[in-house]
Amino acid sequence: MLICKNIQGKNINSEYIREFFRTTPEEAEKLFSKLQRIEFANAESIVKAGEEADAMYFIDDGKVDVINDEGNMVNEMGAGQYFGEYGVIAEEARLTSCVARGKVVVYKMNGEDLLGEISKKPTIVGYLLKQVYSQLSVKYSKLLEMARAKRGIVQPERKRTKSESMTLTITYAAIVLCFIFVGVLTPPVEELGPFWIFVPVVFFLAHNILTRRTLETLILSVALTCGMANGGNYLLGFTDAIVKGITTPDTAGTILIMSLMGAVTALLDAAGGISAFKRPAEKRVKTASGALWAMFGILALIFIDDCLNLLAAAFCVVGITDRFRIPREVPALLGTTASAVCSVIPLSVWGAYLSGTIILSVGEKGGNVFLHTIKYNFPSWLAILMVVLICLRLLPKTDIQKQAVKRVEEGGELWPKGSEKYFLAHDDHEIYGSVHDLAIPIAVMVIASVASGTVREHGSFALDASTGLVITLVVMFGLYCGEKLMTPEKFFDCVVSGIQSSILPILLLLLTVCFSNSLQLINISKFFEEEIPKITGSAVWLLPAVIFLVFAGLTMLIGSSWGMYGIGIPIAVQLAAVMSVNLPLCLGAVCGAGICGDNLIPYLSEGSLLTSAVGCEPHVVRRQRLQYWGIIGAVSLIFYAIAGLLA
C-alpha cells in the first residue's frame, strides 16, 4: 500500500464527486481535498471481511475482486465504481474482502466525512441504500459471463495451501503412473475384457469427483482411451480423435449454432435485455401473486439462456416482491427453475447443446428426435408446475418457507440472516433496455428458425436454428444501430464477445464427442449389447427409470450436467437400440437427469449467480433447493417407470 499525493484522478476527480453527492462545484472541491489517494499492489487486500468499516473507497484505476467468507470471488469492480459505503452507513463490520487484481488506485473517504455529507443531505442515504438493495448494475453482466462460460466445466483458480499443493503434485504423479501402467499392460483391442473397457470410465469419474474440473478430466480421459485403442500411442490417438470429431458436418453445424447463440445473447445483454422488463413490471404489477407471475413470465420469455433469464427476472421483480413483503426465499426457489424452463425450448442455449449432442449420436435426424424428447423431460415439466403452484400460492411450504413467512410476519427482514453480503451495488451507467429491443429479436429467431426449417423439409415441421440465428443477427444490426443503441463497431464487438463466451461450452461438446467416439474404439457398445439384456431380463420397462437414476447420480458426482450429457446420451442411444425401448423416452430421461442432478448437487455454490441475483443467503438457498428438487426427482423416477411400462 502506498499513500500518494492527492491529485485529480482520471476517473475519480472533483467532477465525479460533484455528480456522486449532487453538490456544488465548490463543495465538491472541498470534499475531494479530504480524499486519500492510495495505490495497492497485485493481490494486496484493500479491506478485509470482519474488520471495522471506517471508510468507503472509489476506484480510479485497476480491477478489484470481491471475495466472500468462503474464499470465492463473488464480484468484480473497476474504474468509476466504489465499495465500502454499506458498512459505514449500517455501522457494521465488513461483509466481504476486496483484493487488488494488478495495480489498483483508489480514493479513500473516511466514514466521518461520508456520514457528515449524509447528515447535510439525508436523501443520499436512500440513494445509496437503493443502489445496495434493489439494483442490478453492470456487475450482473460479469456474473452472467462467468456463469455462462463455466456451467460446471471449470472451477475458479484460487490460492492453495502447502498441503493442497502437495496433494496436487501427488495426484498428477498418480495420473502419470496410470498412463504408463495402461500403456504397457493394455492388451490389443479385440482382447479387451470388461475390466479394461471400464478403465477410462472409472478414471473419468474418479478424476472429476476429486477435482470438479470436467474440461481437464475430459482431455485426460480422451487421451487415455485413445492410447488404449492405439497401442499406448497417446499423442497420435488424441490428435486423430480431435481431428475426426471436429471435421464431421454435424459437429461443425452444432458449433456454428452455439457460437451464434452466444452472439445473440451478448447483444441482448448489451442492449439492456436484463433490465428491459423492470419499469413495465413496476408500473403494471399490483399484487403479490402478480409479482411472482411476472418473474415466471420473464423466465419463460427470455428463454434463450438460463443465466440471462434468471438475472433479468431477479433484477426486474425482486424489488417488487420486496414491496409486497414476500420473503426472498420465494424468488430464490423460483430461480432454481431457470434451466428447467430453457431445457424444454429448442431455440435456447440448452436446446442447442442437447440437440447437438443427440445429432452427434444418432445422425442428422437428431434435431427432430430432440423435439420428441421434450415431452419426456419430466423434471423440467414438474419444475414448471411447481412455479405455477408458487404463483397461485398453493405450493406446500417446507420448514424453510414457514420460517421465512413467520420472520416477515413478525416484522423481520425480507431476507435470512447473512444475505447482505451477497447484495450487488448499482452502477449509474446501467442501460435500461426497451421491451421491443428484446421481444423483436426473440420473435424473429423463432419465426425464422421454424420457417427456414419447414421450407428445407418441404412442408414438414422442422427447425433450422443456424439460418434463424443469422437472420436474427441481421435484424438486430438494423434495429440496434438504427435506434443508435450501439454503433456498428460496438455491435460487432458484442458478437465477438458472445462467441468468445461460447468457447468453453463448445470445447466441452467437442471433447465429450471425442470421448464417446473413443469409447466405441474399445468396444464399449459391444459390451452393452451383450451384457445389459442379461442383467435386465424381462424388466425392460424399467430402463428409462434406471437411466434417469444413474445419470442423475452421475451429474451429482461430476458436478456438471453438460459433462454428463456427452457420456449419457450416446449410452442411452445404444441401450434403447439393443433393448428395443422408445428412444425419445430414454433420451428424455437423460435430459431430465441432468436438470434434476444439477439441482441436487449438495456442494453447488450459488454465491456467484442465484444468491447474488436474488440477494439470499446461500445455505438457505441450498437447503430449500435440495428439499423441493428431491421431491421432483422422486416423482420423476416414478413417472419414468410408468412411461416405460406404457411405452
Residue 430 lies in a domain: no
CA distance 39 to 103: 7
Quote the pLDDT of residue 122.
55
Quote the pLDDT of residue 158.
52
250: cell is: 454435424
153: Cβ contacts below 8 Å, ≥ 6 apart? 214, 215, 504, 505, 508, 560, 562, 563
Quote the pLDDT of residue 274.
65
Residue 232 lies in a domain: no
Mean pLDDT of each 10-residue bin along the chain, 647 residues long: 83 88 86 92 90 92 84 80 82 86 92 79 54 42 46 52 74 89 86 84 81 80 89 86 78 82 84 76 89 92 81 83 92 91 88 84 78 95 96 91 92 84 50 77 90 81 83 94 88 88 78 80 75 70 92 81 81 86 94 93 58 80 91 97 91
Task: Report the half-sphere exposure of 543 (CA within 13 A, side-chain side).
Answer: 28
Percentages (nearest 5) of helix, strand, coil residues in the chain: 70, 5, 25
CA distance 261 to 469: 7
Residue 75 lies in a domain: yes
CB 359 within 8 A of CB 367: yes
Phi, psi of 472 (to 5 degrees): -60, -45
Into how many domains does the chain fold? 1
Quote the pLDDT of residue 135.
37
Residue 67 lies in a domain: yes
Alpha carbon dihedral 318, 324, 325, 331, in 10-degree steps, equals -30
**Across-strand partners of 100?**
64
Q: Which domain holds residue 46?
A: 2-134
Quote the pLDDT of residue 258.
82
632: Cβ contacts below 8 Å, ≥ 6 apart? 379, 382, 383, 386, 596, 599
Quote the pLDDT of residue 606.
42
Quote the pLDDT of residue 403.
93
Residue 436 lies in a domain: no
Residue 558 lies in a domain: no
Helix (H) or strand (E) holding 387: helix 378-391
Residue 576 lies in a domain: no
Closest alpha carbon to 439 in 271, 234, 629: 271
CB 303 within 8 A of CB 263: no
68: Cβ contacts below 8 Å, ≥ 6 apart? 49, 74, 96, 421, 422, 607
Residue 38 lies in a domain: yes
Alpha-carbon radius of gyration of the chain: 26
Query: What CATH number has the domain bearing residue 98?
Result: 2.60.120.10
CB 226 within 8 A of CB 167: no
